[in-house]
Amino acid sequence: MSTALPQIQELSKRMQASIIGQPAVVERLLLTLLCNGNVLVEGLPGLAKTRAVKSLAQNMEAAFSRIQFTPDLLPSDITGSEVYLGEDAAERFAFQQGPIFANIVLADEINRAPAKVQAALLEAMEERQVTVASNSHKLPDLFMVMATQNPIEQEGTYPLPEAQMDRFLLHVYIDHPDPASELAILRLVRNEGGGHNNKATAEPLAQEVIFTAREEIAQVSIAESLERYIVDIVAATRGQNTAGESVAKYIQVGVSPRGSIALDKCARGHAWLQGRDHVTVEDIRAVAHDCLRHRLVLSFEANADGVTTNDVIDTLLKNVAIA
């Protein structure tokens, strides 16, 4: 019996109370945190991307930091820098931490910053440390970045290179809520603006619960046939088996081994969130799109025919058989 699952489920309920109409986003944020990864969220303005990650941090014992990416941002604005203390000081320089030294980091509109700044963030995500003036500084043990992109604004943006997109565990799309949910959102925001917002009085979730959950997820079992299923899906994107023949002309670059690792991690995390100690094929299919869509590079033929990464993944999930 899981000791951490009831507390994670309570955290999810608290978040969904303030993030109306976006249950999938809440689940994906929790899944990313539980799998010790980072998430790229893409959606139009006003769809509660910032609110979602703030809600996660507010309901946990976690330090939150927001970085607004702009074209004039410097790497040191993220990582921190060495500060001169004066000649009379015992040590003339001291490291002043940047906003990356938090537990939950919101990298808002990451595609607005130039390559050097993006690289500084992505290095921190991958290595869990930053290096300034030849000195390495370790980031907190509990660390997650949620980066956002606006899909409709291209002027003044620097799209993330495909190789850097691969560093994100998940790539999540947010769509508009349905009318009923939007009505509930309207009323919720009105009450908050009128001072009627009763902040959660429940005890914030301790970080130890997350670490316990990660240990339990690591123990979730997966059958060899499902391991091969994961590998076969990824191999099909590279043309390494016949299941990918029907979409081969639409794929310019297939998924790297990071995709297989992400599928394995997230499928086990998804199974754990459902209260199971083993992975099913439904767990793999539930996370496949978010794990793979940003790791696929489509060809000119795909763009010409209006074929999306979701279409390609849908076809692969239909064609790849379970051994």
Domain of 272, CATH number, reads 1.10.8.80
Measured distance CA(13)–CA(175) in Å, rounded: 20
Most confident of 118-122, 238-242, 312-316: 312-316
β-pairing verdict for 251-253 and 297-298 = antiparallel
Considering the domain boundaries, does residue 62 fall inside one? yes
The more confidently predicted of residues 238 and 50 is 238
pLDDT at 213 over 80: yes
Q: Band of the pLDDT at 198, cuts 50, 70, 90?
A: very low
Does 232 share its domain with 306?
yes
The more confidently predicted of residues 134 and 255 is 255
Domain containing 26 — which CATH number?
3.40.50.300
- In sign, the C-alpha dihedral spanning 209, 215, 217, 219 is negative
Q: Band of the pLDDT at 155, cuts 50, 70, 90?
A: low
Q: Band of the pLDDT at 19, cuts 50, 70, 90?
A: confident
pLDDT for 89: 73
pLDDT at 118 over 70: yes
Considering the domain boundaries, does residue 159 fall inside one? yes
Q: Band of the pLDDT at 119, cuts 50, 70, 90?
A: confident
Q: Residues of the chain with pLDDT > 70: what percent? A: 95
Does 59 share its domain with 103?
yes
Question: Mean pLDDT throughout 119-139?
Answer: 86
Does 186 share its domain with 226?
no
Does 243 share its domain with 107?
no
**How many Cα atoms sit within 13 Å of 144 on the Cβ side?**
27
Does 90 share its domain with 149?
yes
Considering the domain boundaries, does residue 205 fall inside one? no
pLDDT for 1: 60
pLDDT at 141 over 90: yes
pTM of the entire predicted model: 0.89
pLDDT for 126: 87
Measured distance CA(43)–CA(134) in Å, rounded: 38
Give per-residue pLDDT as tens, 264-319. 999 999 999 999 999 999 999 999 999 999 999 999 999 999 999 999 999 999 99
Give strand pairing partners of 20: none
Does 187 share its domain with 287?
no
pLDDT for 194: 56
What is the distance, to the nearest Å, from the Cα of residue 318 to the centroid of all Cα atoms in its chain? 26
Considering the domain boundaries, does residue 209 fall inside one? no
pLDDT for 228: 96
Question: Mean pLDDT throughout 92-114?
Answer: 89
Does 260 share its domain with 159?
no
**Taking phi first (over 0 means left), then psi (-120 to 50 degrees means alpha), and beta for anything else, what does residue 160 get?**
beta
Q: Band of the pLDDT at 224, cuts 50, 70, 90?
A: very high
Residue range of the domain that includes 233: 220-319
Does 121 share its domain with 243?
no
Count: domains in the chain: 2
Does 162 share its domain with 67?
yes
Does 51 share its domain with 129?
yes
pLDDT at 196 over 70: no
Considering the domain boundaries, does residue 172 fall inside one? yes
Exposure string (b/e) for 122-155, b if CB count within 10 Å is 16 or more?
bbbbeeeebebeeeebebbebbbbbbbbbeeeee
Does 191 share its domain with 225?
no
pLDDT for 49: 84
pLDDT at 133 over 50: yes
pLDDT at 207 over 70: yes
Considering the domain boundaries, does residue 211 fall inside one? no
Considering the domain boundaries, does residue 208 fall inside one? no
Considering the domain boundaries, does residue 97 fall inside one? yes
Does 29 share its domain with 169?
yes
Instruction: Give the helix/strand (H/E) hosting 117.
Output: helix 115-127
Number of other residues whose CB lies within 10 A of the CB of residue 4? 20
pLDDT at 91 over 60: yes
What is the distance, to the nearest Å, from the Cα of residue 286 to the centroid of all Cα atoms in its chain? 15
β-pairing verdict for 39-43 and 129-132 = unpaired
- Structural tokens at position 133: 């003036």
Measured distance CA(313)–CA(311) in Å, rounded: 6
- Structural tokens at position 207: 């970080």
Mean pLDDT score across all residues of the chain:
88
pLDDT for 90: 73
- Give the residue from 196, 212, 229 where a domain finishes: 196
